[in-house]
Amino acid sequence: MQKDIQIITINPNLKEKLLNYLPQLSGKKILIVGDVGLDEYIMGDVKRISPEAPVPVLDVAEEDLRLGLAANVAQNVQSLGGIPILVSVIGQDMGAERLTQLFQKSNVSTKYLVVDSSRPTTRKVRVMAKHHHIVRFDYELRKYLSSETEAKVVESIKLVIGDVDAVIVEDYAKGVVSDSLLKELVGLAKKNGKKILVDPHKTNRGDFYNGIDLLKPNFDEAMALSGISDEELKSRPNQVFEIAQALQKQTGAKELVITRGKDGMIIFSEQKVLQVPTYARQVFDVTGAGDTVIATLALALATGMTLIEACMLANYAAGVVVGHVGCVPCSLNELREYIQDPS
């Protein structure tokens, strides 16, 4: 693999090209398969310590509910003009009721959500003092689906995959994405000529995602997925290249996009190594930024944009959402305005 990184810079012509592509995102159908969840925020101020124990007391000013995990990917696809086809599993509980209400508000269809009453709907409750994250409570079952529930998920995928423009697998290791499900999905995607983009989870090895087209980990996930130890990497001068080579070999993915927070992202494709810098003007919260990136990538590639162009557009979209607190989708209007004036 080439050891030189080419840094991609923005110029007025390229900006204009990206802006001209935005209307083409409209109507693109993206199949999203993965774990969904409910993000709950309890927000207020801390002005005193409890007399009962040495802990802060939050004076609650506001509570908020938002779509999380693959549900956030779906609402990003929707807010950017696409049509999300979300296939996932929810429980039969309060979390599922609240999720369904949020889906309705976001115009995301719940038609292909499978209900499994034996599993809780994933909920993450975050306690915030202004922009400071104090603690998080998780309600979830990190266990693979039963064979019966997985069969229902596969049946839903079969019903829709022929009519979509691209497929996203959003793996948060809550149980929806298993080895058997992935093999079924990869086979169906290849049969129907659909590109699969994967947002992986670091607890798996790279070969877990064998057969996909594009892998989008962050740097820590990429390192864990590669199976290369920290000690091995310390002695190697080209760490990111070693990791990329390992992942492409394990997954067979021709394209690899490693996101690196404030350092933007690095693209590995066709023996080229390219870096796209970040376009974020300010960073309040990176929660959900990866969801925005993969949603934008899928829509952009579905329009016929090159991977470089798609990554540049995704970086602009990420720049929009990190300026908000929590999982907030990027709207098409915000994206257009941000490309025009990111300062």
Structure tokens at 36: 């969904």
Q: How confident is the model at residue 209, as a pLDDT?
A: 96
**Cα Rg, the chain, nearest whole Å:** 20
pLDDT per position as a tens digit, 23-68: 999 999 999 999 999 999 999 999 999 999 999 999 999 999 999 9
Side chain identity at 85, as an amino acid letter? I
Decide which of 2.60.120.200, 3.40.50.620, 3.40.50.150, 3.40.1190.20 is the CATH code for 6-340.
3.40.1190.20
- Which residues of the chain fall short of a pLDDT of 70? 1-4, 230-238, 280-287, 325-327, 343
pLDDT tens figures, 86-96: 999 999 999 99
Question: The dihedral of CA 160, 161, 162, 165: what is its sign?
Answer: positive
Name the residue with tokens 């927070």: 261
Q: Which helix (H) or strand (E) holds 31?
A: strand 29-34
The domain locations on the chain are: 6-340
Which pair of structure tokens corresponds to residue 163? 């009519």
Catalytic residue, from 45, 179, 291, 341: name it.
291
Please state, in angstroms and as integers, the Cα–Cα distance from residue 209 to each residue in 49, 196, 216, following that order: 47, 10, 11
Query: How many CB atoms are closer than 10 A to CB 241?
Result: 17
Q: Taking a C-beta distance cutoff of 8 angstroms, is the pair 5, 275 a contact?
A: yes
Alpha helices (runs of H) in 5-86, residue ranges in sequence order? 12-21, 70-79
Distance CA 337, CA 15 (A): 11
Residue 213 falls in the annotated catalytic set: no
Block residue for tokens 């980990």: 217
Helix axes 307-321, 289-302, angle to 10 degrees: 150
Q: What is the pLDDT of residue 2?
A: 47
Contact (Cβ atoms closer than 8 angstroms) between residue 297 and residue 311: yes
Give which of 97, 71, 100 is closest to 85, Cα–Cα: 71
